[in-house]
Amino acid sequence: MSRKNLYNVGALLAGLGVTFKYMFKRKPTIQYPSRKKKHAPRFHGLHELRRYGDGKERCIGCELCSSVCPANAITVIGAENSPADRRSPGERYAARYEIDELRCIFCGMCEEACPTDAIVLTPRFEMSDYRRGSFIYSKDRLLVPPEAGTGLAPDDRPNGIPSDLGRVAEIKSTVSTDEGYDATWRGTILKTQTKGLAE
Amino acid sequence: MIDQQLVTVTIDGTPVRVPKGTWLVEAAKQIKREIPVYCYHRKMGPAGLCRICLVEIEGMPKLQIACNTAVTDGMVVHTQSDKAADGRRAVLELYLVNHPLDCPICDKGGECDLQDYAMAYGQGYSRSVDPKVSKPKAVDLGPTIVLDEERCVVCQRCVRFDDMIVGERELVLKDRGVRNIIATANGEPYRHNFTGNVTELCPVGALTSKTYRFKSRPWDLRRTTTTCTQCPVGCQMHVDVRVGVVQRTMSLEDDDAISDGWLCDRGRYNVGFYDDPARVTQPMYKRDGGWVQIGWDDALDIWAAAIREACAVNPASVGVVGGGRLTNEEAFLLQHLFRAKGVANLDWRAGSQRQASPGRNGGTLVDLESCDAIVLIGESPAERAPVMDLRVRKAALQKGAKVIRIASAERPYPAPIPSTDVATVAEAIKKLPKDPKRIAIVWDGCDADFATSLLEKLPAGAQVLTYITGEQANARGAEAMGMLPFSEPGYGKAESGLDAAQMFAAARDGKLAVLSIFGANPAMYRADFARASFTAVSDLFMTETAQLADLVLPAKGPFEKTGTTTNMAGDVLPVNAAHSLETPADALSDLEMVVALAEKLGVELPVAEEVDAAVLRHLAKAPEDFTLGDARFGTSVILSPSKDPERRRKAHVEGIAFNVVVQTRVFGGGGTSAHDARIAELCPLPEAAFSPEDAAELGVNTGDYIDLVLDSVSDVVQAHHDNVGHDLLVEVRNGMPRGTIALIGGLPDSPASNLAGARVSVTNIRRAPEDAAEAIGAPA
Ligand code: SF4
Ligand code: SF4
Ligand code: SF4
Ligand code: SF4
Ligand code: FES
């Protein structure tokens, strides 16, 4: 060791100083997945398809979301409601609704285009899986359960025009980051812990 | 047109020279300036109802409607001036006052004139504060059409179409003011052969097709332009495909030469069979009475071996039936292959038609419009070539042509069309207008007696145009391609073989070893061909014929292959495979089958370019010097009325015996329409029509059920002896010849086709159940 290097002990100590300083600071690392960070309120994650308060689907299969989608991620095929099995208010519903979440760029344009506030982006982000095919979300995984519906169906309103669209837009999703949520509506497999959400 | 006086009009600063009397909208189209219209339609002229076409004309104090203003010399027009735009904005605001604005669920969304004009000229907001008037939505107008009253802009295009083009006058405008709605007269279901056209005419989403309801958006569709091959008219059409399935078909508005811009309901709606689960998807071979699926290699080996063996013994024991549903190229190669093997038994005629080419007097479809008289012989063109029938109606309704029907058992034309029914040729000649310049004869190609005797007696000096409506779309092409036992491609003389009826007789007598049938269903008429030692059938479905065969080959349908077809007027039209349509993986087009078979048989076929050139050369050639009912075509067809007096014995049950006439219905054909769930409702019920006199004598009324008993048994009918007709709905039809009963042929599970020419009597008369009686329009 040359003599010159000895003079660098000061620098070494300075560096260690930084190390020790952070040792006693609050740690930013979160113990994911047992703990989760709170999202920004307008975070764009996994989609969900919403229902009205009476359980009817909001989506009317109009394909506006799929037309506006810059990533071409959405496929909608409409069909006619039958009186015996009414899926949505009005005449039309989405018989098939699929989003390829691998194509999606989470821009939220679909949400903007939807005339009934049916499709919204939730803060859910955990979609990892082993197969590409399972990233194509169809109605069975996108549609919220009937009890999660909100708002009055337009059938009950004069001239069939829903007036609560603005309100639904406000309560953007059924996900409460404060209370924790399932990663998808699939079930309880990924129920996260409520404790430990970042304060 | 006679020499036209041209005038100059200045539209938005651009001078345009057009014939005097041109409507301003049309003049503007010449400089690609679109003036918005709702009520105006090129084929129906102006109505002046909607006021959206307002333009400013210099020197006129107020805005004028461009659709009903004829151009005059020196006229200066502004279509985009502030004043014109203001006018349009005001009109649109009124249109939108009660419009439901449900574009997101409207089938027209994306191609709607109200949407487009509101975007282009509207003000973007409404000043109306009162609630909108609501009207019925999703009104079931008939088997094909759904009506949304709220969306209707009351342009009356649909009403005028029914009146001016079809002549049925079913749609009417009901009630007044904001409450006025479109409805059918008497509230009956909207039902004729051309209903689908109103969905294209309707500028908004008020009239929509049931089969296309909510299936797609216009921008999702892959469009292919092709030719409809459901009948010999050959209308040009767009085929729109999404997710591998044909979603809808649309007419070509500027197809003036063939379809005049219309489609019939069969051509428009019978397109859902491509993905039917009943399609044959694999070659099937009958072994020990049961079907086994085999691969193409085995199928071709079996087929080729049978042909090779039979040809080695005697090529006259090999026969081919079909060609009328193939493309020109396929028919050409088919006959080429078999003629190369020395086979002369080739015939496309698998039904009641004996001739498809009119020969030297054949006219174009447009020529029909300029005829002074149109004489219809045999089955109604309304059921066999519907869009050609629209030309007949156009000639009668708009140009004053006289329509004469000889000895027709068909339903009469709707009342607004002036038509005359006569019993004999002599009477028809008497009813012809004075000094006719042009007479059209429209024949169904079956029984030649009337056609030939009429041709002889027509007044000299009149130009005669002949037309043959037929059963198979490319029958004329098949004839020109040499699918006839007596002629080579281009009507060249060939070594004479057996025609289809003779082949069937030979099969019955055990003289036919191998029979190959391409896209034909002769078993609807008679089943004796199945006694050939080996029968191969190429078809899309397990038809009655396929079920009797030994080998069934899965074929491709008309939207799945490429080639050309020839229509009844001799036009050569393109057949294009629809983009992105899903085809069963193992289905082959008949062309591919023939090529594969030729390889197995060691026959060298001409290459594609040679085939194309040969096809065009033969079709471009002027037809030989023959005319309707030419003797060469013979008289023997598979389904022919029996002329044997022995079979016309006196009746014994309930007194009166009737001669059976079998009629085509647009949707009656088994084949594809039976395999299209979306149009099941359009299939007619088995019915029996009588003349009013016969009905009175029998004591039957429209809406009764009857059964039939055979009086005389021909060998053709024998097979179905115990089922000659149950629960037939009676229709009392004016103008029917006496002693005749008209049955609908081609219906699945109905023996009517086998009964042609038989003598039957009526038994077991009873009232039909209400719903069935309603379907035929019986008074309650
Ligand atoms: S978020 Fe954007 S990219 Fe994703 S589906 Fe919606 S529109 Fe398409
Ligand atoms: S989610 Fe909304 S925009 Fe998309 S099809 Fe359904 S209703 Fe239309
Ligand atoms: S239904 Fe359509 S075509 Fe008929 S009047 Fe109304 S808008 Fe016009
Ligand atoms: S008239 Fe014939 S060719 Fe034209 S649409 Fe109808 S079936 Fe097709
Ligand atoms: S298009 Fe001119 S008034 Fe309707």
DSSP B524-577: GT--GGGGSSEEEEEESB--HHHHH-SEEEEBP-GGG--EEEE-TT--EEEE-P
Alpha carbon distance B430, B458 (integer Å)? 10
Residue at A18 is within a domain: no
Count of domains for chain A: 1
List, in order of start, the domains of chain B with CATH numbers. 6-80 (3.10.20.740), 284-355+474-633 (3.40.50.740), 359-468 (3.40.228.10), 645-775 (2.40.40.20)
Looking at chain B, which residue has its C-alpha nearest residue A81?
B214
| C-beta separation of B291 from B285 below 8 A | yes
Q: What is the pLDDT of residues B181-224, one digit of tens each?
A: 999 988 889 989 999 999 999 999 999 999 999 999 999 999 99
Distance B205 CA to ligand 5 centre (A): 18
DSSP string, B95-151: HHHS----GGG-TTTTS-HHHHHHHHH--SS----SPPP----SEE-SSSEEE-GGG
User: In terms of Cα–Cα distance, which of B214, B222, B225 is closest to B245?
Assistant: B222
Kindly state whether residue A25 falls inside one of the protein's structural domains.
Answer: no
Is the C-beta atom of B51 inside 6 A of ligand 5?
A: yes
Query: Per DSSP, which regions of B560-664 are E strands?
Result: 563-566, 572-575, 657-663
User: What pLDDT score was predicted for residue B721?
Assistant: 47
Q: How far is B105 from chain A (nearest CA, A)?
A: 5
Residue of chain B nearest A79, judged by CA positions: B214
Q: Using alpha carbons only, how large is chain A's radius of gyration in Å? A: 24
- Please state, as a whole number, how many other Cβ atoms lie within 10 Å of the Cβ of residue A123: 20
Give alpha helix (H) positions in B385-526.
386-399, 425-431, 449-457, 475-480, 500-508
Residue A62 lies in a domain: yes
Helix, strand, coil in percent for chain B, rounding step 5? 30, 20, 45
For chains A and B, CB pairs below 8 A equal 37
> In whole angstroms, how large is the CA radius of gyration of chain B?
28
Q: How confident is the model at residue A197 (pLDDT cuts 50, 70, 90)?
A: very low
Instruction: Confirm if A190 and A183 have CB atoms less than 8 A apart.
Output: yes
| Distance of CA A59 from the midpoint of ligand 2 (Å) | 5
Distance CA B201, CA B208 (A): 10
Least-confidence region, from B20-24, B270-274, B279-283, B683-687:
B683-687
The ipTM of this complex is 0.82
Task: Write the DSSP string, B684-748.
Answer: PPPEEEE-HHHHHHHT--TTEEEEEEESS--HHHHTTTT-S-SSEEEEE-TTPPTTEEEEE-S-T
> Is residue A24 included in any domain, yes or no?
no
Question: Which residues in chain B are contacts of A159 at CB distance < 8 A?
Answer: 131-132, 134
Mean pLDDT of B297-308: 96
Range from A55-69, A172-186, B241-255, B586-600 carrying the lowest mean pLDDT: A172-186
The H or E element containing residue B184 is strand B181-184
Nearest to A125 by CA among A40, A50, A21: A40
CB atoms within 10 A of CB A14: 10
Which of these, A101, A138, A76, A99, lies nearest to B220 by C-alpha position?
A76
Task: Answer yes or no: are the C-beta atoms of B118 and B90 closer than 8 Å.
Answer: no
Task: Give the predicted TM-score (pTM) of the model.
Answer: 0.88
On whether residue A121 sits in a domain, the answer given is yes
| pLDDT at B285 > cutoff 50 | yes
- List residues bridging with B464 in a β-sheet: B439
Ligand 2 — pocket residues by CB below 6 A? Answer: A 59-65, 76, 94, 113-114, 116, 118-119; B 104
Residue located nearest, by CA, to atom 2 of ligand 4: B231
- Are residues B500 and B383 in contact, defined by beta-carbon separation less than 8 angstroms? no
Q: For the segment A49-98, what is each residue's pLDDT rounded down to a tens digit?
A: 988 888 899 999 999 999 999 999 999 999 999 888 889 988 899 999 99
Cβ distance A115 to B243 less than 8 Å, yes or no, reads: no
Q: Which domain holds residue A155?
A: 47-170
Average pLDDT over residues B459-475: 91
Q: What contacts B767, CB < 8 A, 6 or more positions away?
A: B703, B704, B705, B773
Determine what percent of chain B is predicted with pLDDT higher than 90: 61
For residue A128, being part of any structural domain is answered with yes
The pLDDT of residue B730 is: 86
Distance from CA of B104 to the nearest CA of A (A): 5
What's the CA-to-centroid distance between B633 and ligand 4, angstroms?
26
Identify the residues whose C-beta falls under 6 Å from ligand 4. Answer: B 228, 230-231, 233-235, 259, 263-264, 266-267, 385-387
Interface of A with B (CB under 8 A): 60-64, 67, 77-80, 90-92, 115-116, 158-160
CATH value at residue A57: 3.30.70.3270
Tell me the C-alpha distance between B476 and B473, whole Å.
8
Per-residue pLDDT at A179: 63
Q: Report if residue A72 sits inside a domain.
A: yes
Whether B384 contacts B445, CB under 8 Å: no
pLDDT digits (tens, 9 = 90+) for B328-360: 999 999 999 999 999 999 999 988 888 999 988
Assess if residue A26 is contained within a domain.
Answer: no
Tell me the three state secondary structure of residue B467. strand
